[in-house]
Amino acid sequence: MSDVPALLINTVALKAGTRIMEIYASDFAVEAKSDASPVTEADAAAERIILEELAKLSPSTPVVAEEAVSGGLMPQTAERFYLVDPLDGTREFVSRNGEFTVNIALIENGVPVMGVVYAPALGEIFWGDASHGAFKASVENGKIGPQVALKVRRAPTKIVAIGSRSHGSAETDAWLARYEVANFVAAGSSLKFCRVAEGAADIYPRMGRTMEWDTAAGDAILRAAGGLVTTLDGMPLQYGKRDRQDAIDFANPYFVAYGDLGLKKD
């Protein structure tokens, strides 16, 4: 485990979130990346802040950050490295629905052992690590309020499922048919993992493209709260995936985030 605690990483996320909200309040421009996904000034500005702060806190730990990778800058990764998505949910940012987050995670030997997810427009921050558990707090005027411990709930007979607001799929609907679903909640960004971690939802299946920086922080928080993220064959989602013939570096397979592990089915 890193000697940099999640509470200190929280301050990095808060600083990035402050800059994001300044741009959110402005008449910002939207551009398209090579994969047609949107990107704004806020993505780049937040990433600069995070990279500068992590360099001060953990100068020897590599950082894999979304915008840097998009620009062709991909550091060599060791057993320990950070995964950063400076603005997860850019579509939510552009549509101004508030459901975007700052994601910072620490990976050790392929496992997300610490994560911070900050939703600046909603005034919510979530964090967790393998040693201390998972927590959430409100944020007002840049200050974190009293923390509340998070724990996944025991799933009821009719579950609450949560899924992507911007990337739904027929495959996801078909996969969920194996359960009795009382309610399906649409949400943006890594908040979906956090809602499962706090017991507001039971399961989050994702049958679509994601990258490791999209999932690592939320995954760490969910694991710290007692849940798990697995591939469709039931294996824990791994990080630091590189040099594969069948996929680009850091791309995830389809996965399912479980609160109650009793929901896992063969």
Binding positions for Mg(2+): 66, 85, 87-88, 214
Nearest to 148 by CA among 124, 131, 119: 124
Q: In the chain, what is the straight-line distance between the N-terminal and C-terminal CA atoms, in Å? A: 32
Helices (H), the chain: 6-24, 41-57, 66-70, 90-95, 170-176, 191-197, 212-224
Q: How far apart are CA 188 and CA 167, in angstroms?
A: 9
Residues forming the annotated binding site?
66, 85, 87-90, 214
Burial class of residue 184 in the structure, from the number of CB atoms within 10 Å of its CB (0-12 exposed, 13-18 middle, 19+ buried): middle
Residues forming the annotated binding site for substrate?
66, 87-90, 214
Q: How far apart are CA 263 and CA 19, in angstroms?
A: 40
Half-sphere exposure of 178 (CA within 13 A, CB side): 9
Q: How far apart are CA 234 and CA 256, in angstroms?
A: 9
Q: How far apart are CA 116 and CA 13, in angstroms?
A: 7
